[in-house]
Structure 1
Amino acid sequence: MVEDNRGAVSASPALDRELLDAKFNPPPPRPGLASRRTLVDRAVGSGARVVAVTAPAGYGKTTLLAEWASTDARPVAWVSLDRFDDDPAALLTLLAMAFARIFPDAAEVVAEMRGQGASALGRSAPLLAAAMSDAAVPFLLIVDDLHEADSPACQDVLEVALAGVPDGSQVVLAGRHEQAHLARRRVEGSAFEIGAEGLRADAAAARVIFAGAGVDIADPELDALVARSEGWPTGLFLAALLARDGGEPASVTGDDRFVADYLYRECVRSLPEDAQRFLRRTAILEQLSGPVCDAVLDRSDSGALLRELEAHGLFLVPLDHRRGWYRYHALFREFLLGELAASENGSAIRLHLAAAAWYEEHGLPAQAIEHLLAAGDRTRAARLVAALARPTYLVGQVSVVTRWLAELGDAAIQAYPPLAILAGWAAVLTGAPAEAERWAAMIERIRFDGGDDEDLPMFESARAMLRTAMYTHGRERAIADATLAVASEPPWSPWRDLALYLSGEVSLLSGDVDAARSSFEEAAALAPQVGVTDAVLLSEAELAILAAQDHRWTDAERHAAVALDAIDAVHMEGYPTTALALAVGASVAIRRGDRSAAERLLARGMRARVGCTYAMPFVSVRVRLQLAVAFTASGDGVTTNHLLREIDDLLDRCPDVGALADEIAAFKHEVLDQPAAGSTPLTPAELRLLPYLQTHLTLSEIGRRLFISRNTVSSEVGSIYRKLQVTTRGEAVTRAVAIGLLGA
C-alpha cells in the first residue's frame, strides 16, 4: 500500500528544495527600522533556555528575530513555519533540519523524525531532545510563526523536544499566541518573555522609523502619534509611508484592525492601478515568485514588479538572499485578500485554479491541493490527494492526509472512489478500526469502473483487497477476494505486491503453507520494482517465520534482516506493519544468543503492536503470537500470558482464523506448564498514554488528547507506575527510556 516513493510528493526536487531552503533563511534586516538590540541583550543575558516572543501581527517579531540572528555570536539556526507544518512529524523534521544545518554531525537524526501516531511523541521528539542536549557548543535556534503549528499534537512534541536544550543554548519561539507550556516555564523561571508591551515603539524608535522613510516630523507631532498609536510599530511605519507620499499620518489611533486597513488602503492608493491589481490578486499566494505570479496573472514582468514593490517598502518579505521568493507581511496579506473579495468578487476562484495548475505543472502537488480546495474544485483535488496519500503516509504525515480528506468531504470522496479505497487502507494500516469500518461501508455502496487512471487498481480488485485485509466476511470470502485480486493485478501494477501478500495470508489460514510461501516470495521479489511497501515488509517477515518453523535458521535470519534493514532504511518506526518483522527478528536474535538485540527488538515490537487492531485481525493475531513466541524463548512467561489474553480478545471479534487457531492452540499447550516469570507488560492503551508522561499535561488534558475520561487516565497511569515499579512521572519516563519504550 505504501511505497518508498517520496518523489511523488514533489516531482520537482530543485524547486521543492528552493522553497524548503527559504524556510531556513532569516530575512535580511530591513533598513529604516529601530534597533531591538536592548531586548535581544536582555533575552541573551537572562540565560533562559526558552525565549517566547508573543504579540499580534504587526509588532515586529520577525524584525527582532532577524536582528538577533545577525548579531548573535553562537551558531544560529532559523526556521519559519507555515500552515503546512501543523503536523508533529513535519514540525520535528523542520526543527531537526534547522539544527543539522549548524551541527552537521546531527544530520542522521533528521531521518528519525518520521513516524506516525504515538511514535512522534514517544520516539522522535526524545531523539531530537537528545541530539540538542549533546550539542558540542551553545547554539541559538529561532522558530518564527509558531502559531502556524499550534495543534495539540505539535505543542506536545515541542514540549518534549525543548527539554533537551542545554545550558548556554536558547530556543526562541515567536508567534501570535502564548504557547501552552509557557505558564509552567514562567512559574519555574525557565523562560524569558517578550510580549506586545516590550515590542511597542517609543518616541526614539518612532523617530528612526520616520527618518528611514525620509520624513522629518516635529517632536510634538511625533509624541502625539506615538501616544495615539500606543507604540504599534506597523501603525507607525504605515504612518511614515503615508507621510512620505504626502498623506496625513494623524489618523493612527492604535493597533485596531480597521485602522490598519485604512492605513494600508491609503498607502496603496497612490500606486498605479496595475500595481494595485497585482497586489490584490497575488495575495492568494502564500509564497510569491516571478514565475508563479506570471502564471496566475498571465503576465511576464512579475519578477521586476516584485522587486519594485519591495523597494517601495510595501511589506514584501524576501524569503531567500537571491530575491527569488517573497511573502507578504501577514497583516498586509489579510488586507489585500479583503480588498480582492470586495473589489473583484469571484476572481479568487480563477486565481486559485491558475495557481494550482502552476504548482501541479512544476511538481508541487501538495501546494496545488491547497489551492484547489480553496477554489472549491474538489474533483481535481481528490485526484491529487489520491496520488499523494501513499507517499505522504510514508513520511509520517498522517494528519496531513486526514486533513485533506476532511476538507474534501465524503461527497467528493464518494465521487472519486479510488480515494475512498486509499482512505480505508490508511485507516487499516494505522490501526483505526472505526474509521476503517466507516470507509469500508462507504466503499461497498459505491460503484466505479476504474476510469482512465493507469496507476490505480481496478476498483473491484481494490475493494476485494480491503475486504480481505479487514477479514470482513470470513475465511471463504477472503480466499475468493484474494484470488480475484491476484488475477486482476498485472505484473506491472503497483498493487500486485499487496494482492500477493494477502493471497499468502489467506493460504496460511487455509493451511496451505507451500502456496503461502510462494505468494510471499513473489511479493518480496517485487521490492526492486515497487520499493519498500507494507506488503513487502510483511511478506519478508512471514518468510522468516516459515523458515524458523522449519528450523531453517539461516534463511530465517536472512529474511528477518531484509525486513529489519528495510524498516530502518525508510524510517517506518512505529508503523503497525513493522511489528511482525520486529517480533521474528527478536526470535532470531535470541536463537543466535544476542539477548541485548532481542530486548531492543521486543521493546520496539511491543510499541508497534499498539496499532495492530481488529482493523486487520489476522495480522494483529499473528503479531501477538510471534511476540509471545519470542518472549517465551527469553523466559518471560508473564508477558507471554498477557499477549495470549490479547489474542483471545481479538478472536472474540474474529473467531474464524482457520489454521492460525491451530497454531495458537499448539503454542498454548506448549507453554501451559512453563513458570510465569517476568513482569506484566504495558497494554496497548497504556503504551498510547506513556509518551504523554513526558509532558506537563494534566490528567484531564491527557484524557482530552486521547478521547478518554480523566478517571481512565488516572487508572492507566497507576497501572503504568505499578508495572514499571515507579512512583512519579519522571521515574516512569526514565524507566521507559531505559527499557526502550520511549526514545529508542
Structure 2
Amino acid sequence: MTGPPSSPLLSVKHAVPPPRPAAVRRKRLHDGLRAAREARLCAVVAPAGWGKTTLLAQWAREPEQRLCTAWVSLDRSDDEPVRFWAYALTALSALDATVSARALAALSAPAVDPVTVAVPTLLNDLAAISAQYVLVLDDVHVLHDRQVWEGLEFLLEYLPPSLRVVMAGRADPALPLARLRARGQLAEIRADDLRFTLEESADLFAAVGGSRLPPASAAQLWERTEGWAAGLQLAALSVRGSGEPEAAVSRLRGDDRHILDYLATEVLDRLDPAQLDLLVRMSVLRRLSGPLCDAVLGRSGSAGILRNLEQASLFVAALDPARRWYRCHSLLRDVLRRELEATDPDAVPLLLGRAADWYAAEGRTDEAVRLLIAARDIARAMALLRSSQAWFFESGAAAVYLRLGEEAVAAGGPPDAEVYVMLAYAAVLSGRFDRVRHWCDAADPFVGDRTPPVDGWRSARALLLTMRAAYGHEEGDRSSADLVEGARAVQLEADAGRPGYVLARAALASAYMRAGRYEDAVALLTDAWQRPSRALLPTPALLQTAGLVALNRLQVGDVEVAKEVCDEVSATADAVEGAWGEAAASSVTWLRLVQGRLARSRGDLILARSRLRGAVRLADVWGRDLELVRALSSLAEVELAAGDRRGAREAATRAREVADAAPIRPLAAAELQAVETRLGRGAVRAARRLGRLHEDLTDRELSVLQALSGPATQRDISAALFLSVNTVKGYTKSLYRKLGTSSRRDAVERGRALGLV
C-alpha cells in the first residue's frame, strides 16, 4: 500500500509565501479577512496584478493565523482529483495529522473516486475536532476538472466549523456562489476591494520607488492607475533613482495598463544583462530555482540573481521561507515569453527540454513529461511514459499517468502499443472504466506477438484481453464477448510463474460467474489460487481474487473451502480496510459479502449483520449495483432472521430501488425476489392473524404486488418475473379481489397498509 507520489516541490506548494520587500500592509483588508472566517468560503477574485497572493500571504503570517493556516499554491498540473486532494490534505496534515491521515490513506486505494471516500472521511475527522483551521487555495482559476469542483462543492456543503476555506483566483470559483451568498456562507473580496486607496498607493510608491510623491502627483498617479497594484509598482520602478518622479507620473496614460511597451522601455531595459537573460529565457517555466535555472541556462550563479531580483521588487517573489523557489509575476512572465518567442522561437522547446531533463534527474517524472509535451517533443514524452510505468503505478499516481498519456496522444504522439495498454491499466487503477474500453480499443490494432510484455505478464495481448474481459464492456452489453476474450487471455498467459497467469484466470472466472457458469469459474480459480505466483499480486488484486474464489465456492456449496480462503486473507483484508477505510471497496467487498453469508449460515447473526452492513457500504462506494443488491438482499435476510422486520424491509426496499434502476443478473434478481417474498409472506400471516386479510396471497401474487408498487408496466413486470403478460394480468385481478380493491393505486395503498410492500 503506497501513498500519492512524493514530490520535491511538495513543500514549496504548501509554503506560505514569505513577506515581499516593500510590501504595504493593508489593515482594512486584513480586518475583512478576519471577519470572513465566519463564512464557509471566502472568495478573493480579481485579475492578475491586483495583489491577491500578497494580501493572503501577509494575512496568513499574522501571529494569530500562522499556526492555523494551511496553504496550497496551485498550478495546471493539479487539475486532477487525486493530485489536488493529495496536496490539500497534506497541507492540512501539517497543522494536525489526525485531520487528514485517513483521507490521505484513502487516496492511495485503487479505483476509488476521492469525492466518494476521501472527502467524506475528511469531513468526519474535521467534525470530531474543536480546533479551527483555514485552508487557502491560491490560483484556483487553473482548476477545470469537474470532479475536483464537485469535491470542493461537497466539502463546502457539509463543512463543520473547524475549517474555513479561502480561494483566490482570477475568475469566480466554479461553485454555487449565489446559494452560498444567500445562506450567508460566502465572504467576497474583489478587485474594487483590492484597489489601493490614495494613501496606500502613496505608501507603495514610496516603498518601491524610494521617494515620496507630492500630494498632487500622488493623486494623479492614483487616478491613472486606478489603484491597480501592478501599475503602481511599475510606475515606482520606472522612476526609481531618476530624481524626477513627478515627470514620470505625468507621462502615465490609461493604456499603460496593458504594460507591454511600458515594461519593455521603462523597467526591463534597466536590468543588467544577466538578470534580463535569466528572466527572458526562464519565462518558459512557472517556478524557478537556482539549480533549475543553472541547468537550463548552462551556467552558475542563478540563485544569486533570483535573490537580487526579489530584493529589488522586480516582480520576482520567493515561494518558500528558505528562498529556494521563486516565481515571476504572471504579467511580467507573459511579456517576457512573448519577447522570447518573437526573438528566438527555436529556444523555447530547447529550454523546456532541458528543464524536463532536470526534473527527470530529480525524480519528478510527471513534471518532466509535462514539460516534454509543452515542448512538443511528444516522442520523448511517450518514451518516458513507457519507461516510467512503475514510478507512476507504485506511487499511486495512475490517474496522473492517464492524464499525461492522453495529453501526449492528443498532442500527436505516435501510436505506441505498450503505452496504450498501460493507459488502459491506469484507467483500471483510477476507476475510469469508460477509458479502459477506449484504450483497449486504441491498443488493439498495435498489440502483436512482438509487443514487449508488461512486467508480470508473458504476453501484452493477454493483459489487453484480460482488461477487456474484466472491464471492457458495460454490464448490460456483455453478451459472450468477455468469455471469448477471457478464454484467449488464459490461452496466451500460460506461464504459471507470473502473476498475469492468476489475473487472466480471475478475469475469465468473473465472466463465467456473470454467465451463471459457477462450476467452470471454480475450476479456473482453483488452479489459479494454488499457484505460488499469486503471492506476487499487488495486495488489492490478491484480496479481490480471494473474494472471487470464496464467492464462487460458496455459490456451488463448498462452504468450508470458502471459509478457508476468507480466513487465509482475513488479516490482510482487515489491515487494508483499516488503512484505507471505505476506499478499500474494490479490494474487500466480495470478501465481506462472503464472510457475512458464512456467519449467517453458522447462526452468528451479530457478526453477519456487521459484515453485511460493511459490504453494503463498500459496494456503494465501489459503484457496483450487482454487489450492492446482493449485499442488501443478504442483509435483509439477516435482519429478518434477527426479528428486525423494519430493518429487513428497509434493506430490501433499497435493493429493489437499485435493481429497478440498472440491469442486474438473474442470480441477484432471484435473491432479492426470495427475500421480498419472505417479507411479504410474514406480513400476510400477520394480516391473516389479525383478521385484516381474509384470504392468503400466493408467492406470485406477492411478487406482482411488490412490482406494482413501482413504475414498471405490466410488460416490464412480466419480463422481470419471467411470466407472460396475460399471466400477470390474471395475478393482478386475483390481487384486486383478495385485497378488496379495484385499481392498481388502491391495491398498492392497501398492500402498504398491511405491510405487504
Verify the 8 A CA contact 2:629 2:672 in the aligned structure 1. Answer: no
Equivalent AA in structure 1 for residue 42 of structure 2: V
**Residue of structure 1 in register with 2:239 after alignment:** 243
Q: What is the CA deviation profile of residues 161-185 of structure 1, one whole-angstrom value per residue up to 9, with x for unaligned ones?
A: 2345555864322111122332222
Q: Which residue of 1 aligns with 2:618?
A: 605
TM-superposed CA distance for 1:502, in Å, is: 3.1
Structure 2 CA distance for aligned equivalents of residues 161 and 323 of structure 1: 33
The alignment partner of 1:415 has SS state of coil
Instruction: Give 2:197's aligned residue.
Output: 202
Q: Which structure 2 residue ranges, 5 or more long, are not aligned?
A: 473-477, 641-647, 684-705, 711-751, 753-757
Q: Which residue of 2 aligns with 1:58?
A: 49
Please give the secondary structure, in 1, of the residue aligned with 2:321: coil
> What residue identity is the alignment partner of 2:531?
E
Contact map agreement 2:632 2:655 (CA 8 A) in 1: no
> Which residue of the other structure, out of 181, 184, 206, is the alignment partner of 1:186?
181
Question: Once the 2 structures are TM-superposed, how far is the Cα of residue 431 of structure 1 from its aligned partner?
Answer: 6.6
**CA, structure 1 residues 77+229, in 2 after alignment: closer, same or farther (shift >3 Å)?**
same
Deviation at 1:19, TM superposition (A): 1.3
Q: What's the secondary structure of 1:52's corresponding residue?
A: strand
Task: Give the AA of the match of 1:581.
Answer: L
- 2:188 is paired with a residue of what secondary structure? strand
For residues 176-575 of structure 1, the aligned pairs below 5 Å read 176-179=170-173, 180-213=175-208, 214-246=210-242, 248-253=248-253, 258-259=258-259, 262-263=262-263, 266-386=266-386, 400-409=400-409, 415-427=415-427, 435-448=435-448, 455=455, 457=457, 458-469=459-470, 470=472, 474=481, 477-478=484-485, 480-487=487-494, 491=497, 495-502=500-507, 505=510, 509=517, 511-512=519-520, 513-522=522-531, 525-526=534-535, 529-533=536-540, 535-546=541-552, 548=554, 549-552=557-560, 553=563, 555-569=565-579, 573=583
Q: For the residues of structure 2 that align with 1:412 and 1:630, how far apart are their CA atoms?
A: 52
Amino acid at match of 2:679: P
Change (3 A) 1:256 1:628: farther
* Aligned CA distance change for structure 1 residues 425 and 472 (closer, same or farther; 3 Å): farther
The one-letter code sitting in structure 2 at the alignment partner of 1:137 is: A
In structure 2, what is the Cα distance between the partners aligned to 1:225 and 1:411?
Answer: 46
Counterpart Cα distance in 2 of 1:589 and 1:251: 86
Matching residue within 121, 125, 130 for 1:131: 125
CA distance in 1, matches of 2:92, 2:482: 51
* CA positional deviation for 1:365: 0.8
Q: Name which of structure 1's ranges 597-606 and 382-391 shifts more when overlaid on structure 2.
A: 382-391
Matched position secondary structure for 2:678:
coil
Kindly indicate whether the alpha-carbon contact (under 8 Å) linking 1:497 and 1:524 is maintained by their aligned counterparts in 2. yes
Give the TM-score normalised by the residue count of structure 2.
Answer: 0.75
Contact 1:631 1:639 survives alignment (8 Å): no
Tell me, in whole angstroms, the C-alpha distance in 1 between the residues paired with 2:89 and 2:634: 38
Please state whether the residue corresponding to 1:177 is helix, strand or coil. Answer: coil
For residues 285 and 113 of structure 2, the distance between their equivalents in structure 1, rounded to whole angstroms, comes to 33
**1:429-452 CA distances to partner (integer Å, 9 max, x unpaired)?**
667665444433333322456566
With structure 1 as the length reference, what TM-score do the two structures score? 0.77
SS at match of 2:130: coil
Change (3 A) 1:628 1:554: same
Structure 1 residue 467 displacement after superposition: 4.0
Q: CA contact under 8 A between 2:592 and 2:612: conserved in structure 1?
A: no
Q: 1:76 to 1:645 in 2, by over 3 A?
A: closer
- Paired residue type of 2:297: L
User: Bigger relative contact order, structure 1 or 2, given CA contacts below 8 A and separation 6+?
Assistant: 1
1:142 alignment partner, SS class: strand
Mapping of residues 698-737 of structure 1, within 5 Å: none
For these two proteins, the number of residue pairs brought into alignment is: 650
Contact 1:584 1:630 in 2 (8 A): no
Return the match for 2:593 from 583, 587, 604.
583
The answer to whether the Cα contact below 8 Å between 2:398 and 2:429 also exists between their aligned partners in 1 is no
**Residue 323 of structure 1: CA displacement?**
1.4
Per the TM alignment, residue 409 of structure 1 is displaced from its structure 2 partner at its CA by 2.8
Q: CA deviation at 1:584?
A: 2.7
Q: Is this contact kept in 2: 1:241–1:267, CA < 8 A?
A: yes
In the TM superposition, what whole-angstrom CA distance separates every residue of 1:24-45 from its partner, at most 9, and x where no partner exists?
2111112312212221113323
Question: Which residue of structure 2 aligns with residue 649 of structure 1?
Answer: 663
Counterpart residue number, 1:83: 76
Cα 1:202–1:482 shift into 2, 3 Å: same
Query: Residue by residue, what CA displacement relative to the aligned partner does 1:684-712 show, whole Å, maximum 9, x if unpaired?
Result: xxxxxxxxxxxxxxxxxxxxxxxxxxxxx
The 3 A distance-change label for structure 1 pair 555 and 363 is same
Deviations 1:294-352 (A, max 9, x none): 22112222222222222232222222222112222222222222221112112111111
Once the two structures are superposed, what CA deviation does each residue of 1:192-213 show, in whole Å capped at 9, x if it has no partner? 2111111111222122222222
Partners of 1:382 and 1:178 in 2: CA distance: 35
For residue 93 of structure 1, report the CA deviation from its aligned partner. Answer: 3.1
Q: 1:30 aligns with which of 17, 20, 26?
A: 20
Per-residue CA shift, 1:625-650, capped at 9, x if unaligned? 56655554454583697499579935
Partner of 1:737: none
Q: In 2, distance between residues paired with 1:532 and 1:514? A: 23
Residue in 2 that maps onto 1:693: none
Which stretch shows the higher mean deviation, 102-111 or 547-556? 547-556
User: Contact between 2:44 and 2:189, CA under 8 Å: does it hold in 1?
Assistant: yes
The residue type paired with residue 551 of structure 1 is: V
Give the percent of matched residue pairs that are identical in Structure 1 and Structure 2.
Answer: 27
After TM superposition, give the deviation of residue 368 of structure 1 in Å: 0.8
Moved more, 256-265 or 671-680: 671-680
- Compute the displacement of 1:227 (Å): 0.4
Say whether the 8 Å CA contact 2:382–2:408 is kept in structure 1: yes
| Residue 276 (structure 1) shift | 1.5
Q: Which has the larger radius of gyration?
A: 2
Aligned residues of 2:15 and 2:319 also touching (Cα < 8 A): yes
Letter in 2 for 1:209: L
* Structure 1, 65-74 or 439-448: larger mean CA deviation: 439-448
Question: By how many angstroms is 1:668 displaced?
Answer: 8.3
- Report matched runs for 1:615-634 at 5 Å: 628-629=633-634, 631-634=636-639
**Is residue 545–residue 556 contact of structure 1 (8 Å, CA) maintained in 2?**
no
How far does residue 20 in structure 1 lie from its aligned partner after superposition?
Answer: 0.6
Instruction: Provide the C-alpha distance between the structure 2 equivalents of 1:58 and 1:255, rounded to a whole number of angstroms.
Output: 15
Q: CA separation in 2, counterparts of 1:646 and 1:412?
A: 44
RMSD after superposition: 3.9
Report SS of the residue matched to 2:539: coil
| Structure 1: distance between partners of 2:669 and 2:69 | 60
1:19 aligns with 2:22: no
Report deviation, 1:560.
4.8
Provide the rounded CA distance (Å) in 2 between the counterparts of 1:210 and 1:669: 78
Are residues 1:69 and 2:33 paired? no
- The change in CA–CA distance for 1:24 and 1:265 in structure 2 (over 3 A counts) is farther
- Aligned-partner Cα distance in 1 for 2:593–2:151: 28
Supply the distance in 1 between the matched residues of 2:71 and 2:118 (Cα, whole angstroms).
20
